[in-house]
Each structure stands twice: as C-alpha cells, then as structure tokens.
C-alpha cells in the first residue's frame, strides 16, 4: 500500500512518499461505531448508537525509510499539528502523535481528524 504524507499548506520539504508500508501497519482498515451499552436495574440493557466517525480512527504505519525520509518525518512531526495522508482508501487529515525508530524501520502513529475524500 502506498503512503503519501504532506503538509496542508505548501511546504517544499513537506512531502514523504513511501511506496510500500510494512505488513505490521495497523488501523488502516479498522472501523468502530460510537456505541454504549448500559445495564438496567431490571436485568436488561439499554444501547445507544452514536454512529461512525473517521475521527475515531488512528493509523499506526510501519515503514522502512532512508535517511532523507527519516529527516522529513521528524520535521513534519515537530513542525505541524495537522497533516494530510493519502492512502489507497482515501485522503485524511491527521494529527501526528508518535514517531518511533527500530533499526531501519519507523513506526508513526497518526490520529485521524477527518476524511477529505474516499475512493472506491
């Protein structure tokens, strides 16, 4: 799966294009609904359904990067509170959260704020 991370406003240093994410990436296909289930005094339950929102999602992407890509990822995390990520599924506005390194692999957690466009 291709992963393109960019700034929302133009920045010539604000683009990271990864051809293939590692299979250990998480949350890219996950979905949850805003539901609550409360037990009642009579032994039953009451359920509330708040629907689905992309803002409840988080992407944890794992990728192999070179030194230039690594520097750009650090720059984006340290400089921008919101970024745009393009995936096979669509385009999302995300908040960068955590960037960790293990050898030549990087793990980047991105909290989804909203969906800009969905494909398919």
Residues of the chain with pLDDT under 70: 23-24, 120
CA distance 86 to 80: 17
Question: What pLDDT is attached to residue 118?
Answer: 78
C-beta of residue 87 within 8 angstroms of C-beta of residue 1 = yes
**Alpha-carbon radius of gyration of the chain:** 17
Residues in a beta bridge with 66: none
pLDDT at 33: 83
The reported pLDDT for the residue numbered 43 is 94
Domains of the chain: 3-118 (2.40.30)
| pLDDT (0 to 100) of residue 56 | 79
Q: What is the pLDDT of residue 85?
A: 95
**Beta bridge partners of residue 6, listed in sequence order:** 15, 84
pLDDT of amino acid 23: 66
Residue 12 to residues 5, 6, 72, 78: CA-CA distances in angstroms? 13, 10, 11, 16
């Amino acid at each position: 799966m291709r992963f393109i991370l960019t700034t929302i406003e133009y920045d010539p240093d604000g683009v990271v294009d990864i051809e293939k994410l590692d299979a250990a990436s998480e949350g890219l296909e996950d979905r949850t609904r805003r539901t609550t289930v409360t037990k009642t005094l009579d032994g039953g339950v009451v359920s509330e359904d708040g629907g689905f929102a992309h803002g409840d999602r988080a992407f944890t992407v794992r990728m192999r990067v070179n030194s230039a890509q690594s520097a750009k990822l650090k720059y984006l995390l340290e400089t921008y509170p919101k970024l745009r990520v393009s995936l096979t599924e669509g385009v999302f506005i995300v908040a960068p959260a955590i960037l960790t390194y293990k050898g030549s692999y990087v793990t980047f957690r991105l909290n989804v704020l909203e969906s800009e466009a969905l494909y398919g």
